[in-house]
Amino acid sequence: MEKAWIEIFAGASLTSKGWEHPDPEAVENFQKLQFQDMILRLKEIAEAFAAELRDISRGRRSFRVVSANESIFGFIFMLERLQTKIELTPQGVATNLLILDGFTPKSIMRHTLTPRPDAFGGLTWTLDQTGFISPEQLIKILAEEMLKAAFERGEIRP
């Protein structure tokens, strides 16, 4: 658990108006930092997944992680001719699974990861407004969707 969250929690008081904090700006700053940090966490998890899978499958199923251009804060998770763009938006994190059909990308699946703040600056995330999800779970879901699409398109064989 983050030390900053515990410090904010320790200093909070419950009033008739709800939770009050001696330093409301610290709560806001902590929340902003967590929001921006989500893409970095997702990228680290995707890179670790790709490296581990490469070792275990001896390169047979090779996912790659590529930094996106400077115009977006995110990265691209790739498998063969499939790619999932993962980017930070003002509303949360957006994912878009694209198939490269020749030189034209075709979108086949999208997800939205929405932050849900708590009173102490912490964030939990929901996937497509359905339920809470961890960064690890999101990478697993994206990897499964990409592998399924690659099998269905005949780009990968069993």
The residue-averaged pLDDT of 76-104 equals 89
DSSP codes, 86-137: EEEETTEEEEEEEEEETTEEEEEEEEEEEEEE-TTS-EEEEETTTEE--HHH
Contacts of 67 (CB under 8 A, 6+ apart): 75, 76
The residue behind tokens 């939205």 is 112
pLDDT at 71: 55
pLDDT at 129: 84
Residue-wise pLDDT tens digits, 118-151: 999 999 999 998 889 999 999 999 999 999 998 9
pLDDT band, very low/low/confident/very high, at 70 (cuts 50, 70, 90): low
CA pair distance 52, 1, nearest whole angstrom: 26
Taking 90 as the threshold, does the pLDDT of residue 58 lie above it? no
Name the residue ranges covered by the structural domains of the chain.
Answer: 24-151
Q: What are phi and psi of 26, to 5 degrees?
A: -65, -40
CA pair distance 111, 52, nearest whole angstrom: 25
Taking 80 as the threshold, does the pLDDT of residue 72 lie above it? no
Alpha carbon of 69 to those of 58, 72, 75: distances in Å? Answer: 30, 6, 8
pLDDT at 38: 92
Lowest-pLDDT range of 39-43, 75-79, 101-105: 101-105
User: 117 - beta bridge partners?
Assistant: 123
Taking 60 as the threshold, does the pLDDT of residue 31 lie above it? yes
State the chain's mean pLDDT as an integer: 90
The residue-averaged pLDDT of 109-117 equals 92
149-158: Cβ within 8 A, 24+ apart: 149/82, 149/97, 149/99, 149/108, 149/109, 150/79, 150/80, 150/82, 153/81, 153/82, 153/99, 155/80, 155/81, 155/82, 156/61, 156/79, 156/80
